[in-house]
């Protein structure tokens, strides 16, 4: 009789390998950072840069010297969009820069961990069980809420950095403007909602299975 193939492949192997590579890379980078000139999620960077994606300009820098002005100690490079940099970031600017990297990375890492946990639990307990449905529900909420938090954090940190590195008299944007100027992660939200619906279906199926087992 042919051996039954794992129905959760190839996602099981792929998710596990990606999670192992990501965790190993970040751990090795953190261990090597004190000895090598490398940065991890923005930590240890000597300079901080941010691109103002809300505006666009031409490459003629002389034409925009009065419109796009850097703050004292910062510089601006004009291409398709203005990019502000500083070689002497303040503590707050360094924290904002790190948060802009760390929160989206943490969201992705957490999603992978929950996927691997779900797969391992399903392989052990079965697909249509209350426990598997519960783990699927947790994954759905993580994608739904975590993607929104990551997008908001990215928007707020970028806006706050732009506000601290620029002095644009014609387009003064407060740091908290990122709370409403963020890119909505529609695909992640829809995926989370779909997983929540499927978790509900699995929970109903597991309850029906238990009822049938009890009847028999």
Show Cβ contacts of residue 19 under 8 Å, excluding neighbours closer than 6 positions. 109, 112, 113, 116
Instruction: Name which of 5, 3, 23 is nearest 15 in CA terms.
Output: 23
User: What residue numbers bound the domain in which 134 lies?
Assistant: 91-215
Q: Does the residue 163 lie in any domain?
A: yes
Q: Does the residue 61 lie in any domain?
A: no
pLDDT value of residue 72: 87
Number of separate domains in the chain: 1
- 77 has pLDDT over 60: yes
Q: Does the residue 177 lie in any domain?
A: yes
- 2 has pLDDT over 50: no
Instruction: Name which of 105, 108, 93 is nearest 157 in CA terms.
Output: 93
Burial 115-145 (b: 16+ CB within 10 A, else e): bbebbebbeeeeebbeebbbbbbebbebbbe
Q: Does the residue 34 lie in any domain?
A: no
Give the neighbor-by-neighbor strand order of the sheet with 48-51: 48-51, 82-86, 74-78
Most confident of 8-17, 79-88, 137-146: 137-146
The span from the first CA to the last CA of the chain, in angstroms, equals 29
Report the SS3 class of residue 165: helix
pLDDT value of residue 86: 92
Beta carbons of 17 and 73 less than 8 angstroms apart: no
Q: Does the residue 30 lie in any domain?
A: no
Q: Does the residue 25 lie in any domain?
A: no
Measured in degrees and rounded to the nearest 5, phi and psi for residue 186 equal: -60, -45
Counting DSSP H helices and E strands in the chain, the numbers are 5, 3
Q: Is the pTM of this model over 0.85?
A: no
Instruction: Name which of 128, 140, 141 is nearest 203 in CA terms.
Output: 128
Instruction: Name which of 1, 52, 35, 41 is nearest 167 in CA terms.
Output: 52
pLDDT value of residue 1: 40
pLDDT value of residue 168: 63
Q: Does the residue 21 lie in any domain?
A: no
pLDDT value of residue 176: 61
The pLDDT confidence band at residue 59, using thresholds 50, 70 and 90, is low
Q: Does the residue 126 lie in any domain?
A: yes
């Amino acid at each position: 009789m042919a051996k039954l193939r794992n129905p959760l492949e190839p996602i099981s192997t792929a998710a596990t390998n990606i999670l192992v590579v990501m965790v190993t890379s970040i751990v090795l980078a953190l261990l090597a950072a004190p000895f090598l000139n490398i940065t991890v999620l923005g930590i240890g960077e000597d300079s901080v840069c941010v691109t103002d994606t809300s505006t666009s300009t031409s490459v003629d820098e002389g034409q925009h010297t009065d419109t796009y002005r850097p703050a004292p100690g910062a510089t601006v490079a004009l291409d398709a969009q203005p990019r502000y940099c500083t070689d002497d970031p303040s503590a707050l600017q360094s924290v904002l820069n790190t948060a802009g990297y760390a929160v989206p990375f943490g969201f992705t890492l957490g999603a992978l961990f929950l996927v691997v946990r779900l797969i391992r639990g399903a392989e052990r307990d079965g697909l249509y069980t209350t426990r598997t449905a519960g783990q699927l529900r947790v994954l759905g909420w993580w994608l739904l809420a975590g993607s929104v938090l990551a997008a908001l954090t990215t928007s707020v940190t970028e806006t706050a950095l732009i506000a601290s590195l620029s002095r644009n008299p014609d387009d003064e944007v407060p740091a908290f403007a990122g709370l409403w100027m963020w890119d909505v992660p529609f695909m992640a939200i829809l995926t989370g909602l779909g997983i929540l619906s499927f978790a509900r279906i699995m929970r109903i199926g597991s309850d029906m299975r238990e009822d049938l087992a009890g009847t028999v």
